[in-house]
Amino acid sequence: MRPNKRDELVSKALDVFYRSGFHATGMDMLVKETGISKTSIYKHFRTKDDLIVAVLHLRDENFRSWLFSRMAALSDTPAGQLLAMFTALGEWFGRAEFAGCMFIKASAEFQNRAHPVYQQSTEHKQMLLEHFTGLAKSAGASDPAGLARQLLTLKEGAIVLSAMSVTPDPAGDARHTARMLLEPYLAEG
C-alpha cells in the first residue's frame, strides 16, 4: 500500500532532521529535501514543532521495534536480551547513517520540559526503561528498576560516546560493564 502524503512527509523529514538537526533545518530545507511543498506541509502540520513531534513518534516506533526484536533474536533469556542490547547497539553504531540518538539531540535543542518535543523525547526513554525493567524482573533481579536504570545509563552513554567518536568501542565497553551488573542473572550470554 502506498503511504499517504502525511506519512511520506514524516518519513522523509525524519531523515532530514536526523542528519541536520531540528533548529538548523528550516522549512525551505524541508521543502528541498523532501520534495513536498510548504502548502502541503502546513496542510498536515500546523507548525514545524508539530511535524517534529510526529517525526519523533515515528522514530520511537521504528527504533524500539528494531531494538527489541534484535535483542530477542540475539538471546532467548531476559538477562541475555539485556546484554544483547549492547551487541545490537554496536551493530547500529557501525552503520554509515549512524548520527547519534535523535531523542538526545531533540532534548538538547528543546530544553523546556513542558515543550512537546522534549516530552516526546522523554517518553521514548521512559518506554525503554519500562521494557528493560520488565526484562530485569523476568531475569530475577532483586531490584529490577535499579538494574534497568543502570543499563539505560550505560546505553545512553555508549550512544553519546559513539556519536562523538570518543572511544573505539563504546558498545563493547558498555557490554562489559553490563555483564558485570548482570552476572548473577545470566543463564547464558
Judge whether 93 and 161 are in contact, CB under 8 Å: no
Q: DSSP labels for 122-154?
A: HHHHHHHHHHHHHHHHHTT-SSHHHHHHHHHHH
Taking CA 13 as the corner, what is the angle to CA 109 and CA 159, rounded to the nearest 5 degrees? Answer: 50
**What pLDDT sits at residue 169?**
97
**What pLDDT sits at residue 3?**
65
Of the candidates 181, 122, 20, the residue with the CA atom closest to the CA atom of residue 29 = 20
**What pLDDT sits at residue 43?**
95
**What pLDDT sits at residue 144?**
95
Name the stretches of the chain with pLDDT < 70: 1-3, 186-189
**What pLDDT sits at residue 2?**
55
**What pLDDT sits at residue 183?**
86
Spatial separation of the C-alpha atoms in residues 171 and 141, rounded to whole Å: 22
Cell of 64: 524500539
Please give the domain boundaries of the chain with CATH numbers for all domains. Answer: 49-185 (1.10.357.10)
Spatial separation of the C-alpha atoms in residues 83 and 151, rounded to whole Å: 9
**What pLDDT sits at residue 189?**
43
Q: What is the dihedral of CA 153, 107, 161, 155, to 10 degrees?
A: 30
Model confidence over 17-54: pLDDT tens digits?
999 999 999 999 999 999 999 999 999 999 999 999 99
Burial (CB count <10 Å: 0-12, 13-18, 19+), residue 53: buried
Cell of 102: 535523535
Of the candidates 135, 184, 137, the residue with the CA atom closest to the CA atom of residue 155 = 135
Cβ neighbours for 170, distance < 8 A, ≥ 6 positions apart: 93, 157, 158, 159, 161, 162
Q: Give pTM, 2 decimals.
A: 0.93
**What pLDDT sits at residue 136?**
96
Judge whether 185 and 140 are in contact, CB under 8 Å: yes
**How many helices and strands (H and E) does the chain possess?**
9, 0
